[in-house]
Chains A and B, each alone.
Chain A
Amino acid sequence: MSTGPAGKYDGIRAENLCKHFPRSAGELSEGRSGFRLLGRRRGEPVRAVDDVSLEVAPGTVLGLLGRNGAGKTTFVKLLATLIEPTQGDAWVSGFSIRSEGPRVRGSLALAAGTERGFYFRLTGAQNLSFFGALYGISPRLVAERSAAALNRLELAEAAHRPFMRYSSGMRRKLDLARALILDPPVLLLDEPTASLDPNSADRIRAVIAEERRRGKTVVLVTHNLLEAERLCDRVAILDSGRLRAMGALQELRRGRAGRTVELTTTGDDRSVDRLVAALGELPGTRGVVRDASGIRIFLADHEALMPVLATLAASEAGITGVSARDLTLEEIFREITGAGDTVPMSVGTGERNGGAARSAEERPL
């Protein structure tokens, strides 16, 4: 952890941050709400961000993961002071989002990941010049940084084309270019690669990695878990506004099935059933799934691999292929958010045994 001139934390820190939105009239029971212009609203509030505490060390990338509506964008907008928190506080480069809004805004840049946010009749370059001037950067510096950012994002050829003629991917790149020309210590990137072709997405990922090497603190909201694995030092998983897990990928793997072994067999059903049962009885096995694609064995740790291999060697199930890999972030994500049955905790045939699985909150990271 490094500290700023005022002895404050330089990265990002959130403490018990909450944002509860009142339900709109339309969300309340129909017929009761009626027409309310600025009237009082009733009902339980929507807990978009609920008691989130986390830290992002300076010069690192935090991946913010979660299902749609989990509160990721609200969290980013809270950090950017675009939304006022209901409770708690957060500090960006040591400045409080509650009481030092202008200084917070001076420390960060936001790429909102939308296709709006620019003046449609102006060219990409004119848009960047405008925002550069608005953010107080000298025209010379804006010109230099714009040229560099447009080059890095492979937008130089389209720089003098009106924004309205940009494709979705080009708009997202320009969104990131605007954040880059401000050159702040903190970058908040909300799904910068969503709906991009693989090459464009790779370009943006490369730029994010470069910014990290330059010492930028980055919060990256993404649904692409491979991207998160590749770019992020740590990931935070939000679900229904609450922080369900946070840590480096290795830390998240710890305490969960640590390794997955995948098998294909050609043996008869009885011999395969015997194998599945034998594997399920091994001490390091957290779960065994047999489905149409073969057998998957979830292991608690690397040490559990040797007994499995010994069992396989002695088996008569006609094993034709064996591969072992670490648990992917996607599998961890699905386990934590309960989205899917990727990591069963018992022997079975694709069915999850809830009794054997511990909730994400119970699992130490």
Chain B
Amino acid sequence: MAKRTFAYACSLTSLTAILVASVALPSLAPAQGRGPTDPGVRGGAAGAGNPITGLTAEEGAFFNAAKDVFEETETVADGLGPRFNLDSCVGCHAQPSSGGSSPPVNPQVAVATAQGAKNTVPAFITANGPVREVRFVRNPDGSPDGGVHALFVTTGRSDAPGCNITQPNFAAAVAANNAVFRIPTPTFGLGLVEAVTDTALQASMAANSQQKRALGISGRFNRNGNDGTITRFGWKAQNKSLLIFSGEAYNVEMGVTNELFPQEREENTGCATNALPESPTPVVPNDLAATSPAAGFQSDAVLFAAFMRLLAPPTPAGATPAVAAAAAPSSTSTSSTSTVVASASSVLPAAAGTTSTAATSSSTSATTSTVARGQQVFTNIGCSACHTRSLTSGKSSTAALTNVTFQPYSDFAVHDMGDGLADGVSQGAAGGREFRTAPLWGVGQRIFFMHDGRTKDLNVAIAQHASRGSEANQVVQNYNALAATDRQAVLNFLRSL
């Protein structure tokens, strides 16, 4: 499966505008003293990557088989290309474990020349930078584009004889301010997100509408154009389901056609030589049947979706992983509500004041109390108006996903984030400045932030929420007006998630 690079794009112009605005408006400047420091990526064991608690034996086996496929590397014979961004799902969704986000070493650099390929690595792809996909904002005639333009071609690869196509001119696109980027979104806990009813999402949105009124926040849901229901996956909440998400990424990111997206995006006959779709539903069980009989009959896209659906949510530091989720594997729902992730107020945070090198271990300098204080401040100044803490799933055909209260820290609505984050790409109802509230669960072990991975520093990420036209301006002003200790507490809290 392909990486789902979620790109976000930001132009140098936009960044400059934000910097200028930050300097020009004293009220946005920190209130006192030196600014707080992002503790950096929380060390220790990965707080994510395991299946959700409460799966039946059959569901657990299905998860394991699906994980194997998620971690496979694709070749041209498997369907890779002719244009692609990477050759596996896990290559992009790797941090801190399979299913996550961009890893510390970008595998796109190596894949550019794998198997004899001669791809040029664009300047915005670096060895220690985020995995990225690129979208062009406009077509050459000025009409809206917004689509993904894959970075690499199979030309020159030993498994693609006869293919002779070239990469797009990314340097020209960047120079024309026409290239925008997105990085992979983490996929942990998404089965719970998928299992939330539209009614519950709307109720959650309405519950703090009064608080939003005092903060300049509105927001709205992106919706499917066919059935009108809320869409919730992707940086702009543009994807309706995990299955659609999987099928689209398989084709767009890896070039593997499937039953959801059965046509090649590049139909050059010298390159696109496989029968389509390249990943069909098997009618004879494949070797996955040894792990899970059901998995042996599934297409890759179905298995990718299953892996994401059954992944447990990230576990905050110090919390007990995935507790008490629908322990009974019965297919009948229970009337009670389970809780999947312990409160972050009980965690030991990462080290405050250290640099943000990956995997530095937590220290004792930041205490449980500062994390608890950080959570309180986070709520009080208005972050939680959008990064809503809790949701409860509805009745799911998977018992472990039924009636579970979990903490994604997102309302899954799209909000106007202003010129500073705008990518000029519209998807569904989400316009060029609108983005889904990024779920913050697991943010403690993420490396890159914002849709385009523009920063590794949470403090910068917070500042980037403010720009002309952003719904978050007042909240960022509130953050900047805090005492330095409280701003540090917020960062410690975030790194505890």
- A and B interact physically: no
